[in-house]
Amino acid sequence: MSHTVTGETSDQPAGSNQQRGFLGRIWLFIRQVIGELKKVVAPSRRELVNYVLVVLVFVAFMMLLISLLDLGFGQVAIWLFGNGEQA
Question: What's the pTM value of the predicted model, to 2 decimals?
Answer: 0.57
Every domain of the chain and the residues it spans: 22-81
**What are the angstrom distances between the C-alpha of 31 and each of 12, 18, 36, 39, 75?**
13, 17, 9, 13, 58
Calculate mean pLDDT across residues 56-81. 97
43 and 58 in contact (C-beta within 8 Å)? no
pLDDT band with cut points at 50, 70 and 90 for residue 82: confident
pLDDT in tens, 3-41: 665 655 555 555 555 678 999 999 999 999 999 999 999
pLDDT in tens, 39-64: 999 999 999 999 999 999 999 999 99
